[in-house]
Amino acid sequence: MLTLGINGVKKIKVLIFGSNGLVGKSIVRKMSEEDYFDVIPSNRDSLDLFDFIETSKFISKLRPDVVINAAAKVGGIMANNIDRFDFIMENLKINMNILESLKPYPETKVINLGSSCIYPLNIENPINESSIMDGKLESTNSPYAMAKLTAIEIGDAMSKQFGHKILNLMPTNLYGPGDNFNPTSSHVIPGMIYKFHEAKNQKITEVNLWGDGTPLREFLYVDDLSEAIIFLLKENKEDYLINIGSSEEISIKELSSIIKNITKFEGSVNFDDSKPNGIMRKYLDSSLITSYGWKPATSLNKGLEKTYKWFLDNFEYIRS
């Protein structure tokens, strides 16, 4: 039975893998606000993506018009560097099972979500899409990056051999409501928010952060990525690879100052330069998507305020 939208037009059936994650939740929420899409969320409770047969049957039964792959094992610099085997193996299994299950359905459009960490360590900034696989990866997260690069290569092979339409989106560092705030496995923004908040509550006078604070980073509020995906689907763009960034960068030290103010932490911030900085600068060239008419709507300050509000509203759940 067809699902009809405005004026009786058939809705686009969109299957979203990883619907309980930071990105997946945002995509489900933003797409559900539109009458253009019939949204089908999928998470670990409904499907084991490590099981190829189960994944294949799931896709065969639903036959979606669009598949968005937002499923991944993700983490910050510490988790990536320590759990290296888990990061490459789990992400490889997820991506391989989804893509191989889609092999019989070249009419299904695929949006594969990657990461800016796929780009080489010493590549010129801002980083253009043409820089993919043009140098050595940054060492602390190379297993995760290799899994993401493999997914892109598999998708490219499917497109060339079987005619699939696969759009690989490379967002910059994402943050927002629903993020992972675990201090040992989170990315930089949720990790800082948790540390500053806990230090304030426990009356600790200082917070220690990894590195020397000088690396430059670009951040994108997660709902802006979701809006970019909706935009690209409506515009029916079929590029191979598109960067999605905010086109603004900030040092880790400056970022810590903003988060310190938002959380109202009054102590000192110490940077431990015995710990790795990671890549010193990672700034995406987002001129392709902006040339199509899209741009992010959320400033860093506003996004951080929204994220901290969500953190406060869900603090008891986060700590449990």
Cα–Cα dist 133/168, whole Å: 14
Give the residue carrying structure tokens 């009054």. 266
DSSP conformation class of 178: T
With beta carbons less than 8 A apart as the criterion, state whether 286 and 245 touch: yes
Cα–Cα dist 272/207, whole Å: 10
Active site residues: 144
Mapped onto helix, strand or coil, the DSSP state of residue 204 is coil
Mean pLDDT of the region 185-194? 92
Residue 295, Cβ density class (10 Å: 0-12 exposed, 13-18 middle, ≥19 buried) = middle
Q: Return the pLDDT at 2.
A: 42
Give me the chain's average pLDDT, please: 94
Question: In this model, does residue 173 exceed pLDDT 80?
Answer: yes
Q: How far is CA 217 from the centre of its chain?
A: 15
Question: In this model, does residue 76 exceed pLDDT 80?
Answer: no
Question: In this model, does residue 88 exceed pLDDT 90?
Answer: yes
Measured in degrees and rounded to the nearest 5, phi and psi for residue 209 equal -125, 150
Which residues have a Cβ under 8 Å from the Cβ of 53 and sit 6 or more positions away?
A: none
Q: Return the pLDDT at 9.
A: 63
Task: Quickly list H helices, 37-125.
Answer: 52-62, 77-82, 84-101
pLDDT band at 16 (very low <50, low <70, confident <90, very high): very high
Residue 122, Cβ density class (10 Å: 0-12 exposed, 13-18 middle, ≥19 buried) = exposed
Q: How much of the chain exceeds pLDDT 70, in percent?
A: 96
With beta carbons less than 8 A apart as the criterion, state whether 289 and 246 touch: no
Question: In this model, does residue 192 exceed pLDDT 80?
Answer: yes
| H or E segment to which residue 13 belongs | strand 12-17
Which residues have a Cβ under 8 Å from the Cβ of 118 and sit 6 or more positions away?
A: 132, 137, 145, 148, 149, 152, 170
Mean pLDDT of the region 135-161? 95
Question: In this model, does residue 219 exceed pLDDT 70?
Answer: yes
Which residues have a Cβ under 8 Å from the Cβ of 286 and sit 6 or more positions away?
A: 126, 243, 244, 245, 246, 247
Cα–Cα dist 111/313, whole Å: 32
Question: Which two tokens mark 116?
Answer: 């800016």
Give the residue carrying structure tokens 């600790």. 204
